[in-house]
Structure 1
Amino acid sequence: MAEEAILEPDLPIIDPHHHLWDLRPLIGAFPQPRHPFLEALTHSAYYTFDQLLADARGGHHIIGTVFMECGAFYRADADQAMKPVGEVEYVNGVAAQGASGLYGDFRPCAAIIGHADLTLGDGARPVLEVLAQAGNGRFRGIRHQGAWDADPDLLGPAFHTPARVYHADEFRKGFKHLGEMGLTFDAWVLEPQLPDVLDLARAFPDQPMCLDHCGTPLGSGSYHGKLHERFDIWRENIRAIAQCPNVNIKLGGLAMAFCGLPEQGPMAGLSSETLAAMWRPYIETCIEAFGPDRAMFESNYPVDKWGASYNTLWNAFKRLAHGASDSEKKALFAGTAARFYGIEHSLS
């Protein structure tokens, strides 16, 4: 399918959720036949600054980005707790490249979200302190993934999160240090786990949190064909979480293989109009529940490359925001991300 013309090319965008990695040495380590998610990663196994720069310069007005932890470039010679520091060190170097001005006004990784194992309890505090040092002023917080399902084939061999990790006493003991240090928290769970995020948000009402990927509705594995029947359950939980003023939400991630929106991939070749129609019930529900000032469109690239090219993805989002006012668009595409992640950047 031919690349689409860019819609609203002058609209400033801060992409608040992307990864940088080199998975090529790891792909062959996973068993055959591979899980669909691993197949998707095979087609985006190398995504570093050059690929990000090419996508950001593809026609949409990307002015900055937020890096999201993904287990990449960990320190090989550090103890287990400190290994994630290597990822922040690497990404801070990418951010420094962009801050040089060599690539124009584009500011990649203007904010960095790393990882610390909060199940270390109070032992997470020294890790967070070293991460902050490694980020050189760009480190904003962490994501501790909570995605889990009783069906081990749903996520595949790449994920090993314990069930109900957000409820664990040691996790919450570690979690409280985020607020003490002024750090944010990104939560990634699957749709049936949304009550876990609600419970965590209520337990720590002053902790800034962001729910990733619209809460990850599921349309694959044992959930195949169940998107429609589970929609009301998803919507009820989204509305409940939105009642917690400390929680923001990311509008995206729906092109992941887990969601089945679309089922085919990678780079399904569907138009932005088709994708927008497919995603509309989820995106509109989230915006209605949270409001534009607590919602932000995200690329989740390169994972969402499964369903769409970078340009098509943002065209779909712009179609979904067609009826929004100028101020609402400013918030959804850049302002909310700038505020939540503390990014000082002109949005004009």
Structure 2
Amino acid sequence: MTRETSSSSTGRVILPAPDLDWLALHQEPILEPERAIIDPHHHLWDAPRPRYLRDDIEQDLAAGHDVRATVFVECSEGYYSDGEEALRPVGETVFAEGVAAATGGRVCTGIVGYTDLRQGAAVKGVLEAHLEAGKGRFRGIRQSSVWDPDPNIRTTRRVLPAGLLLDQELRRGFAELAPLGLSFDCWNYFHQIDDLTDLARAFPETNIALDHVGGVLGVGDYAGRGEQVFSEWRRAIEALAACPNVSVKLGGLGMHSCGFELDQRPRPPSSRELADLWRPWFQVCVDAFGVERAMFESNFPVDQLSCSYAVLWNAFKRLAGACSEAEKQALFYDTAKRVYRLDVP
């Protein structure tokens, strides 16, 4: 099969390119450089999106933080361009596994791919193909469910229906994950968290990771409604946290959709400024889930719009500043290792 490398024919959302010259205006020493880190959420992609491939993430990893392993999360890169439609996303797993092999397993240590679970029970064959292509690195599926009544709020290439996580055919496909030892990553908006809670309760044996603290929105109709959004988000997060099979990724707040407009500043924010800005969201998540079910994530290169990799992890270290050593170990390393079953020291 042939893999896609750079095509605009798949309806991808074209992301704004990070301004590397602007990011270079603020640099700071690495905090706690000896702290071991697993980055459980990043992407790799080529044109037409701003290029971020193996050499780019290796450059970021060389910034000074001790990142021992990473988890690649699906982003529609490297799909097969021919063959059976349902199997085309397996090309992305082949792509990511190739990066893992080339980096000695430090990058793409774990791989989260894509398939449309609305195939129902027939999805099992696709999942098995991902497992074979991943050569021991494939860990699960992410099927984004982001939807909002405002058509201008769009953060995925796929146009998704409302209530996707409640779809019964999707749930028939979802039932195939746990028997194969696979997890589920969910990217939704804050007002959809209750749908994920319903799904998590229906499948208590399936390991679920909530991406980007649950999808904060601060643009479109949500601009200027920060207190209302925070209140609704907090209620939903606390209800979801009652499901012991769900963990939360602490990150993603550098995205444009969050509405913080960090990229509009004359200079990039410092790690202290980021920590102060993001602390309320992180604190709610840690209080609700506990450190055993919470993990810091870079969400690079998407969050690169707002800060550099070095500054981002410094901000996370500041956010965890009041935590005990055991709590820090969980937030930066142990939770990600457990959730994604990573074989790292």
Q: What's the Cα RMSD here? A: 1.5
CA contact (8 A) 1:21 1:47 kept: yes
CA contact (8 A) 2:35 2:65 kept: yes
Q: Give the counterpart of 1:83 among 81, 84, 88.
A: 88
**Cα deviations by residue, 1:130-169 (Å, 9 ceiling, x for unpaired):** 0000000000101000011111001168341111111111
User: How do 1:23-172 and structure 2 match up within 5 A?
Assistant: 23-24=47-48, 45-99=50-104, 107-155=106-154, 158-172=157-171
CA contact (8 A) 1:262 1:268 kept: no
User: How do 1:335-346 and structure 2 match up within 5 A?
Assistant: 335-346=334-345
**Cα deviations by residue, 1:228-287 (Å, 9 ceiling, x for unpaired):** 222111111101100000000000001011101345359960111111111000001101
Please tell me whether residue 327 in structure 1 is matched to residue 332 in structure 2.
no
Look up the SS of the partner of 1:154 in the other structure.
Answer: coil
For residues 184 and 273 of structure 1, what CA distance do their matches in structure 2 show? 34
| Structure 1: runs of 5 or more not aligned | 25-40, 100-105
CA contact (8 A) 1:261 1:279 kept: no
Look up the SS of the partner of 2:153 in the other structure.
Answer: helix
TM-score, normalised relative to structure 2:
0.90
Q: State the one-letter code of the partner of 2:88.
A: K
Q: State the one-letter code of the partner of 1:132.
A: L
Q: In the superposition, relative to structure 1, how do residues 336 and 55 fare at CA in structure 2: closer, same or farther (>3 Å)?
A: same
TM-score, normalised relative to structure 1:
0.90
Q: In the superposition, relative to structure 1, how do residues 227 and 64 fare at CA in structure 2: closer, same or farther (>3 Å)?
A: same
Give every structure 1 segment of 4 or more consecutive aligned residues whose post-TM-superposition deviation is greater than 2 Å: 156-159, 261-268
Match of residue 220 from structure 2: 221
**Cα deviations by residue, 1:66-90 (Å, 9 ceiling, x for unpaired):** 0000011100012221110000001
**Percent sequence identity over aligned pairs:** 46
Match of residue 256 from structure 2: 257
Match of residue 20 from structure 2: none
Q: In the superposition, relative to structure 1, how do residues 193 and 269 fare at CA in structure 2: closer, same or farther (>3 Å)?
A: same
For residues 262 and 333 of structure 1, what CA distance do their matches in structure 2 show? 26
Q: In the superposition, relative to structure 1, how do residues 326 and 19 fare at CA in structure 2: closer, same or farther (>3 Å)?
A: same
For residues 222 and 267 of structure 2, what CA distance do their matches in structure 1 show? 20
Match of residue 31 from structure 1: none
For residues 215 and 172 of structure 2, what CA distance do their matches in structure 1 show? 26
Q: In the superposition, relative to structure 1, how do residues 285 and 66 fare at CA in structure 2: closer, same or farther (>3 Å)?
A: same
Q: In the superposition, relative to structure 1, how do residues 122 and 295 fare at CA in structure 2: closer, same or farther (>3 Å)?
A: same
| Structure 2: runs of 5 or more not aligned | 1-24
For residues 156 and 247 of structure 1, what CA distance do their matches in structure 2 show? 23
